[in-house]
């Protein structure tokens, strides 16, 4: 955008007043831009906190009710809230697995509870069975692998 043209007044006093007003306007622009950046940072922190609380509420409902519950957070909300892992269990062989939500090939607006019917057990798939997964919880980090003895 082209800068706005302010015609220069002929008298010295008017030129000084115009220069003073332009200086105030530029200073106010800097102040308002700083306030906007600060408000945006606060808003993003509040959204992150809201997404975290939504994921915690979803985990509590999963634990209490035991099944995929609609509505659930979207994949991008879970990632923003600090819950990038989804713990699932095969409904046939009871094998537990962690799924990295960021690595999934689904749109980030997909709800987590919709993933239950799409995720399958790799062990059972080798035996030509495709049972759906059971959602256990959203997690902040993957479970530790059990040491094999």
Please tell me the pTM assigned to this model: 0.71
User: Both tokens of residue 93?
Assistant: 């062989």
Distance, CA of 135 to CA of 67 (rounded, Å)? 7
Which pLDDT value is given to residue 148? 45
User: Both tokens of residue 147?
Assistant: 């040491």
Which pLDDT value is given to residue 124? 78
> DSSP string spanning the chain?
-PPPP-PPPSSHHHHHHHHHHHHHHHHHHHHHHHHHHHHHHHHHHHHHHHHHHHHHHHHHHHHHH-S--SS--BHHHHHHTT--EEEEEETTT--EEEEEGGG-SS-TTSBGGGGGGT-B-HHHHHTT--PBEEEEEEESSPPPPPPP-
pLDDT along the chain (149 residues), means of 10: 69 83 90 93 93 90 77 89 88 84 84 82 75 83 59
Which pLDDT value is given to residue 28? 92
Which pLDDT value is given to residue 68? 64
């Amino acid at each position: 955008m082209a800068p706005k043209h302010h015609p220069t007044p002929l008298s010295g006093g008017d030129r000084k007043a115009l220069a003073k007003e332009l200086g105030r306007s530029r200073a106010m622009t800097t102040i308002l831009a700083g306030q906007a950046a600060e408000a945006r940072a606060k808003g993003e922190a509040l959204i992150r906190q809201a997404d975290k609380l939504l994921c915690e509420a979803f985990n509590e409902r999963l634990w209490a009710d035991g099944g995929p519950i609609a509505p659930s957070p979207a994949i991008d909300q879970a990632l923003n809230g600090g819950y990038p892992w989804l713990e699932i269990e095969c409904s046939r062989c009871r094998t537990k697995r962690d799924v990295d939500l960021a690595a999934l090939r689904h749109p980030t607006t997909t709800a987590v509870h919709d993933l239950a019917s799409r995720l399958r057990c790799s062990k059972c798939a080798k035996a030509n069975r495709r049972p759906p997964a059971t959602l256990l919880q959203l997690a902040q980090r993957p479970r530790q692998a059990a040491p094999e003895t």
